[in-house]
Amino acid sequence: MGKDQIQQLILEAKQGNQLAFNQLLNEYWDQVYHFHLSRKVDPFDAEDLCIQTFAKAFDKLDRYDSNFQFNTWLITISKNLHIDHLRSRKKGEIFDAFIEENSEVIDDSTTLEEREADEIQNRQLKAGIEKLNPKHQTVLQLRYFDELPIAEIAHRLDQSEGNIKVLLLRARRSLADNLKNNS
């Protein structure tokens, strides 16, 4: 696709044209996905980071500067998300190591509090998901609870991978809105 076609799609996407969003996603998905794979991210996390990249890009599309290539902007967003991913993973590893080293010292009530907090968060998440339309519920269930790759979800739902990616973007946005409104 040429630069003029990309710029036209971006303009249409800024105006809310869903077909333009889909075309941009399909045009750049592989590039963003392979960027994450080249950073030693496992395929499941790479797909999630791609979804986050496009969600963030589409939310902030009005900030895109057309003096730069669109793929450069997407990769910049991806790099930042990759760094956040590494930080959160590293924090988790540090926390796990701390727990392991200090397991004899840790008070059971702390563990109980953590379990209660997790249960509350899980109930809120389930309540937010239950408010979504059935398509969004299904795609989130298959992706995050059943941990299926996008290709398998597309096969099961008899849809294209591009449609599944867009459906996941929309489902995550709707879920985030539901959770924000219930906070």
Location of each CATH 1.10.10.10 domain in the chain: 107-183
Helix (H) or strand (E) holding 30: helix 18-38
Query: Percent of the chain, pLDDT > 90?
Result: 29
In the prediction, which pLDDT does 70 show? Answer: 93
Domain 107-183 architecture: Orthogonal Bundle (1.10)
Query: Is residue 62 over pLDDT 70?
Result: yes
pTM of the model: 0.61
pLDDT for 110 equals 54
Instruction: Kindly tell me if the per-residue pLDDT of 109 is higher than 60.
Output: no
The Cα-based distances of 110 to 94, 113, 115, 118 in angstroms read 18, 5, 9, 12
Q: What's the mean pLDDT in 51-56? A: 91
How confident is the prediction for the chain on average, in pLDDT?
83
Within 13 A of 6's CA, how many CA atoms are on the CB side?
A: 17
Provide the pLDDT confidence category of residue 157 given band limits of 50, 70 and 90: very high
Quote the tokens at residue 91: 């924090």
Nearest to 163 by CA among 71, 33, 29, 64: 29
CATH level 3 topology of 1-106: Rna Polymerase Sigma Factor; Chain: A (1.10.1740)
CATH 1.10.1740.10 domain locations along the chain: 1-106
Buried/exposed 28-54: b ≥16 CB within 10 Å, e otherwise: bbeebbebbeebebeeeebbbbbbbbb
Residue percentage of the chain with pLDDT more than 70:
86
CA distances from residue 175 to 48, 125, 129, 130, 178 in whole angstroms, order as listed: 15, 8, 6, 9, 5
Say yes or no to pLDDT of 105 above 50.
no
